Every structure is written in structure tokens, then in C-alpha cells.
């Protein structure tokens, strides 16, 4: 049994904790890892970067025994290991914090951490003494600066809190290596700040941190070294101090990326969508008024919780409208539910795509065409040839990395799954396209492809609204930015005149 709260990795600061060499793994039609090596030192944050499908998650899954590598060697603290499951890895001191959390919902927070371990009270039964577990949890949380009640049910926690819980659990096992696979994509800014301070503490204790993310600013802020992978191969490992955003991008993409955003043409169309005094029942959304012209891309900025997602949900009929009007081309739209909204020409790409957008056991073609099936009718039958052809055209346009359009979506990398869901909504030929964080989890090169597609859709007369938490994206990929604050629209700025400070000032207006 691991003694809780004692974290004393045997290696000294700077010494090698983990060494993976010659890691190789193939799936049908894909060489996911080709002779990859990675070395992690005690007390470092090591960023693992690469385009969608480069092999980052696969490398980690080989470490955790989720996949059995075809070849390669893993040394932990100088000893060869080959874990057969994440549970075994955790007991061996290697923990993973990832997005798809599988925590038992009905359990309390304290049980979730200690179940099956200290302190057992009833003979051989793995029962946790409530008082003791609670006390230990409280101690653990206090040491990490986490504010969660040990008696709360896991199901009552938000995604961010669950993730912090997962980290606390890793710490309680005395993990020496902690892997974070895109940890902040569902965290609020506040939670992300807590995460970063915990990472600092773990570093000071001599843990080795592997950090996977597509957010360049995070990588530059917290990492000590960066390893870049491309097409299943190791490309480079560099000290952070010797890297810049441009250098990292070049290593990832394999060429210079001269432009991050396509040049947008000025919209010439009339106002297509007007939203007037929109408020939603049970949300903070209050009297939102805005208009978007055909051919225009409107960025929606604001802090987490400022009501941006609620605005989209209300427009799309996912929440009940308390007041206000939605006009399309001057005609009143009820949009009482999503079905009605889709019929009226609205499409919504949600923020939690991994949760509510993917039909895992179906292939790419079905996942892509499911919302636009009537376009493939030939008489009463669906033309699967047409469906496949359409899917292939989006695989090309968005550079989706897949063996074919008949591949099951769940075998795609996280970012590539997202591109498939985006194609699905683009195929509904919407007149109003609502995009909630469309490039989250998408690599830099592919982001450009998505902006380009947005530009084309706008040019074809679509009105696009895009929520983004990335300032440069808000300014670079839209014509105009509307900023929300405490449920209201705080103001609008033309992108050509927008600055980060200007947006932040508006975001704080009603706080």
C-alpha cells in the first residue's frame, strides 16, 4: 500500500525519471508510433506537442498499458516497466489526468480517492473509515489549494472540479510522473490557475510532468522542455528558453507557417440575423442585442461564465426564452427547440463536442452526414456513394487524418474527431452558424484550415458567430468582436481596431 501524501521520487532534481526508447505502435493502416524516444527528468514540465494525429496520446497510452506497444523499452527510475493497465501504472507511480474522466458518480469525493486503500476497517473488506478518509482528503486538498468538500458526491462536481480531484488522487498515490493530456480544455480560467499552481508544487517536489496541449501560450508559460512529434516520429526535444512560437510551429508543421489567419473580405450583404433583447430563463443571459450581416463573422468574447454559451443555446432553442426576438432576414424565428432551429437554417457546434457530438461506433461517413441525410436521398433511398464522396471532400479540406472514410470515428485522434463534427454542421448548409470554441483541441496548422472554411462559408452568404477564449483568434478570425460581461453585451469593436486590452476592459464592464 502506498503511504498517502508522501511524495519522494527517488531521483534527484534533474535526474532522469522516465526513459522511453524505440517506442513503436501500429494500427490497421496507421503507423501511430515509429521509433519514438522520450526522456523525462525529475522536477521538469515536459511539453509534448504535435499536430492532431501525431501520436502524442498513443505514446502515453503505451506508457499506461492501455495499448501494448509493438516495440520499445520503458525505464522508470532505471528499472524496466511494462504496465498492463492504468491502475497498475498508478500503483507504480505513473498517473494520468485526462479529459474523459471515468469516476464513479454516486461515490463521495473521499471514497473516490481512498477506496480500496487506506484505511481499511472491516477485516478484509475494502471499506473506508469515513471520518479518517474525510480527514485525509481535507488535508490533501488543503495542501494543494483545492476547495472541494470531501463529502460531496462526485456527480455533483463540475468537469473542472473532477479534474482537480483526479490530480489530488494522483498526488495521494505518490505519483512520480503525472501526465496531463489537454487538461485545460474544459477548465475555467480560475481552475486553470489552480492547476498551474499545483503543477509548480509538484515540480518543486521533484515530480516529472508530461503536458500535452495545443495552447501555445500555456506551453510557453509552464514548460521547461518541449518535445515535438510529427507523423508518429520524434522530431526534436529542446529547452523552452531556446524556443519561440514560430519555432515550435515550424517543428510541428514541418514548414514555415507565414500566416495564422486568412485575410477576410469586407462583408457586403444585408443584416441577416438580428437578436433583440434576448434573455433566457434560468441563465444569466440578459437583454442581448446584436446583428450579423450575411458574409460576416462576428467574434464573441468574454470571460468564462459571461453568458456566451447561454446566448448560443438560447438562439438555438436549447434554453427557454424569457424575452426578446430572433429575426432572420427580418422574419421572426421562434426556435423553440433545436429541431426547429435547424429547420430555420441554424447550426450549433457545441463546446462539449467530445461528450455530445460523437457516435463512437459509427464510421466517419455516418458521423459526417447524420445531420444532412436528406441531401443524399435518391428516391426513397440514401446514396451511400454520395455520402462517402461528400465525406471524402471534407477529409481533404480539413486534412482529417484517417485511413479512410469508412474508419470508425473513435479510432481517430481527439482533434481529428472534432474536425469530423465540424464538417457535419457545415454540411447542413446553415444560414446562421454558431461556433462555440471551434478550434479548441485543434493544432495550429489545422486551425488555419478551419478559418479558411469559415471564410468560404461567409463568402457564400452565411452569418457566422464564433465564441473564442483565445484573444488572437477573436481578433484575427472575425470581422467584428462583441464582448459579453455578466450576461450582457458590453460592447462591440471592429477587429481591425481591436486590442486585447480593449476586449478585456469590456469583459470586465459589469463585474
Residues that bind ligand ATP (CB under 6 A): 27, 30, 32, 50, 52-58, 401, 411-416
Q: In 65-158, where does DSSP find H-type helix?
A: 86-91, 109-114, 130-144
DSSP lists the bridge partners of residue 179 as 96, 210
Instruction: State the residue number with the nearest CB to Mg ion.
Output: 57
DSSP characters over 53-81:
TSSHHHHHHHHTTSS--SEEEEEETTEE-
The Cβ of residue 354 has, within 10 Å, a number of other Cβ atoms equal to 18
Q: Which does 53 bind (CB under 5 to 8 A by kind): Mg ion, ligand ATP, none?
A: ligand ATP
Instruction: Find the angle CA(49)-CA(54)-CA(58) to the nearest 5 degrees.
Output: 95
Does 478 sit near Mg ion (CB under 5 A)?
no
Residues belonging to the chain: 511
**Three-state DSSP state, 300:** strand
Least Å distance between CB 53 and ligand ATP?
4
Least Å distance between CB 296 and Mg ion?
33
Does 57 sit near Mg ion (CB under 5 A)?
yes
Q: Which does 112 bind (CB under 5 to 8 A by kind): Mg ion, ligand ATP, none?
A: none
Least Å distance between CB 57 and Mg ion?
3
Cell 499545483 belongs to 198
Least Å distance between CB 413 and Mg ion?
5
Does 183 sit near Mg ion (CB under 5 A)?
no
CB neighbour list of residue 488: distance below 8 Å, 6 or more residues apart: 286, 287, 288, 307, 510
Instruction: Find the angle CA(82)-CA(84)-CA(85) to the nearest 5 degrees.
Output: 125
Least Å distance between CB 177 and Mg ion?
18
**C-alpha dihedral sign at 359, 372, 392, 48:** negative
Q: Which does 416 bind (CB under 5 to 8 A by kind): ligand ATP, Mg ion, none?
A: ligand ATP
Task: Give whichever of 32 and 273 is closer to Mg ion, judged by the CB atom.
Answer: 32
| Total binding residues toward Mg ion, as defined by CB under 5 A | 3
Instruction: State the residue number with the nearest CB to ligand ATP.
Output: 415
Least Å distance between CB 214 and ligand ATP?
6
Restricting to residues 394-423, which ones interact with Mg ion according to CB under 5 A? 413-414
- DSSP type of residue 3: P
Q: Which does 174 bind (CB under 5 to 8 A by kind): ligand ATP, Mg ion, none?
A: none
Q: Which does 52 bind (CB under 5 to 8 A by kind): Mg ion, ligand ATP, none?
A: ligand ATP
- In SS3 terms, 239-254 reads as EHHHCCHHHHHHHHHC
DSSP characters over 392-424:
HHHHHHTT---S-TTSBGGGS-HHHHHHHHHHH
Task: Give whichever of 347 and 412 is closer to Mg ion, judged by the CB atom.
Answer: 412
Least Å distance between CB 63 and ligand ATP?
12
Q: How far apart are CA 342 and CA 424, in angstroms?
A: 13
Q: How far apart are CA 110 and CA 131, in angstroms?
A: 10
Least Å distance between CB 53 and Mg ion?
8
Task: Give whichever of 341 and 420 is closer to Mg ion, judged by the CB atom.
Answer: 420
Task: Give whichever of 55 and 324 is closer to Mg ion, judged by the CB atom.
Answer: 55
Least Å distance between CB 26 and ligand ATP?
9
Q: Which does 50 bind (CB under 5 to 8 A by kind): ligand ATP, Mg ion, none?
A: ligand ATP
Task: Give whichever of 413 and 423 is closer to Mg ion, judged by the CB atom.
Answer: 413
76 backbone φψ class: left, alpha, beta (φ>0; ψ -120 to 50): beta
Q: 102-130 burial string, b = 16+ CB within 10 Å, else e?
A: eeeeeebbbbbbbeebbeeeeeeeeebbe
Task: Give whichever of 166 and 181 is closer to ligand ATP, judged by the CB atom.
Answer: 181
Stretch that binds Mg ion, among 57-65, 427-435, 441-449, 488-496 (CB under 5 A): 57-65
Task: Give whichever of 35 and 139 is closer to ligand ATP, judged by the CB atom.
Answer: 35
**C-alpha dihedral sign at 427, 430, 436, 437:** positive
Task: Give whichever of 108 and 213 is closer to Mg ion, judged by the CB atom.
Answer: 213
Task: Give whichever of 77 and 449 is closer to ligand ATP, judged by the CB atom.
Answer: 449
Least Å distance between CB 49 and ligand ATP?
9
Please give the residue ranges that form the binding site for Mg ion (CB under 5 A).
57, 413-414
Amino acid at each position: 500500500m502506498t503511504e498517502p501524501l508522501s511524495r519522494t521520487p527517488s531521483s534527484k532534481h534533474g535526474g532522469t525519471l522516465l526513459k522511453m526508447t524505440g517506442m513503436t505502435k501500429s494500427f490497421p493502416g496507421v503507423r501511430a508510433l515509429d521509433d519514438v524516444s522520450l526522456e523525462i527528468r525529475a522536477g521538469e514540465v515536459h511539453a509534448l506537442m504535435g499536430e492532431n494525429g501525431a501520436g502524442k496520446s498513443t505514446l502515453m497510452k503505451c506508457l499506461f498499458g492501455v495499448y501494448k506497444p509493438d516495440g520499445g523499452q520503458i525505464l522508470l527510475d532505471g528499472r524496466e516497466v511494462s504496465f498492463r493497465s492504468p491502475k497498475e501504472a498508478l500503483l507504480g507511480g505513473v498517473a494520468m489526468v485526462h479529459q474523459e474522466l471515468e469516476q464513479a458518480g454516486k461515490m463521495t469525493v473521499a471514497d473516490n480517492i481512498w477506496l480500496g486503500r487506506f484505511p481499511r476497517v472491516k477485516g478484509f473488506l475494502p471499506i473506508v473509515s469515513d471520518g479518517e478518509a474525510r480527514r485525509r482528503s481535507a488535508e490533501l486538498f488543503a495542501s494543494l489549494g483545492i476547495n472541494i468538500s470531501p463529502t460531496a458526491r462526485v456527480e455533483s462536481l463540475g468537469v473542472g472540479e473532477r479534474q482537480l480531484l483526479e490530480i489530488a488522487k494522483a498526488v495521494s498515490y505518490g505519483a512520480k510522473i503525472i501526465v496531463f493530456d489537454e487538461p485545460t480544455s474544459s477548465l475555467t480560467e480560475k481552475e486553470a490557475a489552480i492547476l498551474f499552481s499545483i503543477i509548480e508544487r509538484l515540480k518543486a517536489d521533484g515530480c516529472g510532468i508530461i503536458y500535452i496541449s495545443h495552447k501555445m501560450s500555456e506551453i510557453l508559460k509552464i514548460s521547461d522542455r518541449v518535445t515535438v512529434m510529427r507523423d508518429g516520429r520524434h522530431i526534436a526535444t529542446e529547452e523552452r528558453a531556446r524556443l519561440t512560437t514560430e519555432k515550435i510551429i515550424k517543428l510541428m508543421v514541418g514548414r514555415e507557417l507565414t500566416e495564422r489567419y486568412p485575410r477576410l473580405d469586407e462583408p457586403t450583404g444585408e443584416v441577416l440575423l438580428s437578436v433583440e433583447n434576448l434573455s433566457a430563463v434560468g441563465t444569466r443571459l440578459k437583454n442581448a442585442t446584436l446583428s450579423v450581416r450575411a458574409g460576416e463573422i462576428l467574434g464573441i468574447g468574454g470571460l468564462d461564465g459571461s453568458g456566451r454559451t447561454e446566448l448560443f443555446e438560447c438562439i438555438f432553442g436549447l434554453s427557454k426564452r424569457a424575452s426578446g426576438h430572433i429575426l432572420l432576414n427580418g422574419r421572426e424565428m421562434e426556435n423553440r427547440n433545436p429541431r426547429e432551429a435547424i429547420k430555420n437554417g441554424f447550426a450549433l457546434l457545441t463546446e462539449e463536442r467530445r461528450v455530445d457530438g460523437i457516435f463512437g461506433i459509427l464510421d466517419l461517413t455516418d458521423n459526417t452526414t447524420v445531420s444532412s441525410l436528406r441531401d443524399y436521398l435518391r428516391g426513397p433511398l440514401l446514396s451511400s456513394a454520395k455520402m462517402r464522396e461528400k465525406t471524402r471532400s471534407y477529409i481533404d479540406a480539413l486534412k482529417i487524418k484517417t485511413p479512410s472514410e469508412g474508419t470508425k470515428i473513435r479510432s481517430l485522434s481527439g482533434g481529428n474527431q472534432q474536425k469530423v463534427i465540424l464538417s457535419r454542421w457545415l454540411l447542413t448548409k446553415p444560414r446562421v452558424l454558431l461556433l462555440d470554441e471551434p478550434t479548441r483541441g485543434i493544432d495550429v496548422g489545422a486551425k488555419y484550415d478551419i478559418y479558411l472554411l469559415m471564410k468560404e462559408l461567409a463568402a457564400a452568404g452565411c452569418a457566422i458567430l464564433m465564441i473564442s477564449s483565445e484573444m488572437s483568434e477573436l481578433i484575427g478570425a472575425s470581422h467584428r468582436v462583441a464582448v459579453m460581461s455578466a450576461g450582457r453585451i458590453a460592447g462591440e469593436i471592429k477587429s481591425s481596431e481591436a486590442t486585447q486590452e480593449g476586449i478585456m476592459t469590456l469583459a470586465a464592464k459589469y463585474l
